[in-house]
């Protein structure tokens, strides 16, 4: 298990982070995450069942970090609690079936990272009607959610857009050529926030030649989209690429190389995946967003115990998903990672080790960047 985030969230010079996004208002203190029925309230001493539903496994974080972090934190807070785990493999119908199965299995609290935030709303309503409580994790699902923890998603998009704009400006007139935008899945509400945040920085500053919303955050689809964009726009004309996450950035980087896009053309990302950190060191990706999963997982575990035992949920904000206009939330600031601060961010936190990052293919780049 990775080392805990040291000293809280890291600050990146020049990056201003907001405490909330649209529909969020800052608030510190306790707030009840809904009213638990008598059947839903358990005790730490006796324990109860907590369901953990993660959306997919293509992105490295879920199985490598989120699952063990949340499971271990729950065990530390409630030794007799049982964690029931399911991964939906990016299938919204399967996730709905998994919720049904958990409810049948007597799960009292669901920690839910939704594949499709709208489609899962009926399952959330069903869970509540059966006396279960629901903590939305990482993505704000629809339905009567009791608590929510995630990152400042508008700020993620703004930070990505600003990093891309800065890198493009470093090479000259930001309108000297088109950029390509490859956004995330249209069924993921976070993707909409990332897109909105990026556009708030880029619109009017650059020329967007092609833009895509990529189903399932698919790296292969992103590769296909980017390849088509480079053919249509001319690979020598493209001056930057916005990618909403690192998995898609990997597919895009391959397309850039195959199409002959100029080496060093700016490319964004998110999630601080190992391959992305290595691409940043090698100069084939410009930046990524590091979202410290450790505190997010800790928040989810604590919220699950609190709503499961009828205690107030500690919150830093309130969010509105339509079905519940006052969801207590813990919102975490994102961190921009570029070549110069890899050692002071993901390495310092123990998210990745030097040995993991600095393989033989990246060793020289690590030494040049001081990642040793």
Query: Does domain 153-290+336-369 match CATH 3.40.50.2300?
Result: yes
* Tens digit of each residue's pLDDT (9 = 90 or more) over 95-116: 999 999 999 999 999 999 999 9
Neighbours of 255 (CB within 10 A): 24
Neighbours of 169 (CB within 10 A): 14
Predicted local confidence at residue 37, as pLDDT: 45
285: nearest Cα among 258, 259, 261, 250: 250
Predicted local confidence at residue 22, as pLDDT: 34
Q: Do domains 25-151+292-333 and 153-290+336-369 have the same CATH topology?
A: yes
Residues of the chain with pLDDT under 50: 1-39
End-to-end Cα spacing for the chain = 21
Predicted local confidence at residue 40, as pLDDT: 55
Predicted local confidence at residue 166, as pLDDT: 98
Concatenated DSSP letters of 214-252: -GGG-HHHHHHHHHHHHHHH-TTT--EEEESSHHHHHHH
Predicted local confidence at residue 42, as pLDDT: 82
Could you tell me if 300 and 149 are in contact, meaning their C-beta atoms sit under 8 angstroms apart? yes
Give the position of tokens 């065990």.
Answer: 75
Give the position of tokens 């934190």.
Answer: 73
pTM over 0.85: no
Which DSSP symbol is given to 304? H
Per-domain boundaries in the chain: 25-151+292-333, 153-290+336-369
287: nearest Cα among 175, 177, 162: 162
Q: Identify the CATH number of the domain defined by range 25-151+292-333.
A: 3.40.50.2300
Query: 338: buried, middle or exposed (CB in 10 Å: 19+, 13-18, 0-12)?
Result: middle
């Amino acid at each position: 298990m990775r080392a805990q985030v040291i000293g809280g969230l890291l600050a990146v010079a020049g990056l201003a982070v907001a405490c909330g996004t649209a529909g969020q208002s800052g608030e510190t203190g306790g707030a009840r995450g809904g009213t638990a029925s008598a059947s839903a309230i358990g005790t730490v001493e006796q324990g109860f069942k907590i369901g953990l539903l993660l959306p997919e496994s293509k992105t490295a974080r879920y199985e490598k970090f989120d699952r063990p972090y949340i499971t271990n934190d729950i065990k530390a807070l409630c030794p007799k609690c049982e964690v029931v785990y399911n991964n939906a493999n990016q299938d919204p119908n399967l996730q709905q079936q998994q919720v049904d199965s958990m409810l049948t299995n007597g799960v009292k609290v669901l920690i839910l990272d939704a594949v499709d935030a709208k489609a899962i709303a009926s399952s959330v309503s069903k869970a509540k009607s059966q006396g279960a409580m629901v903590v939305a994790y990482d993505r704000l699902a629809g339905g009567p959610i009791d608590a929510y923890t995630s990152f400042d998603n508008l700020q993620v998009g703004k930070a990505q857009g600003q990093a891309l704009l800065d890198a493009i400006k470093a090479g000259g007139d930001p309108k000297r050529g088109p950029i390509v935008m490859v956004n995330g899945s249209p069924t993921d509400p976070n993707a909409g926030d990332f897109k909105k945040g990026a556009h708030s920085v880029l619109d009017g500053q650059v020329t967007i030649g092609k833009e895509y919303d990529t189903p399932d955050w698919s790296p292969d689809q992103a590769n296909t989209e980017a390849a088509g964009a480079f053919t249509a726009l001319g690979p020598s004309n493209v001056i930057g690429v916005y990618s909403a996450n690192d998995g898609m950035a990997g597919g895009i980087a391959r397309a850039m190389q195959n199409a002959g896009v100029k080496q060093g053309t700016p490319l964004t990302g998110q999630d601080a995946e190992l391959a992305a950190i290595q691409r940043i060191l090698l100069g084939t990706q410009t930046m990524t967003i590091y979202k410290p999963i450790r505190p997010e997982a800790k928040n989810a575990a604590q919220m699950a115990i609190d709503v499961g035992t009828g205690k107030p949920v500690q919150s830093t904000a309130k969010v509105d998903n339509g079905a519940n206009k006052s969801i207590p939330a813990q919102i975490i600031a994102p961190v921009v990672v570029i070549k110069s601060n890899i050692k002071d961010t993901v390495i310092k936190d123990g998210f990745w080790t030097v040995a993991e990052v600095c393989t033989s293919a990246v060793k020289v780049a690590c030494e040049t960047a001081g990642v040793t």
